[in-house]
Amino acid sequence: MGNGYLRRFLVVGATSVTRRAPTTDTRTGAWVRSLLERRPTRVVTVAIANKTARTAWALLAKGKSYKATPAI
């Protein structure tokens, strides 16, 4: 099931993103707010953690650097 320690840190970070979403005017904030309208908070938190883990894995697997999309 993977590293529980790492998984816990991903969920803690995602919880922070979820809590700050109402006051954050970014693409991620808008995405999280739209999810929160449709799903419970804990489900959204796990979705963010999952997305972060998939992004990190892809970067490590391809040996590339993260390039953020500019905010609109």
Question: Is there a domain that residue 67 lies in?
Answer: no
The helix/strand/coil state of 39 is coil
Confidence (pLDDT) at 69 = 73
Domain that holds residue 48: 4-62
Question: Is there a domain that residue 8 lies in?
Answer: yes
The total number of structural domains that make up the chain: 1
**What is the pLDDT tens value at each position of the chain, 72 positions in all?**
678 899 999 999 999 999 999 998 888 889 999 999 999 999 999 999 999 999 999 999 999 888 877 766
33-67 burial, b for 16+ CB within 10 Å, e for fewer? eebbeeeeeeebbbbbbeebbeeeeeeeeeeeeee
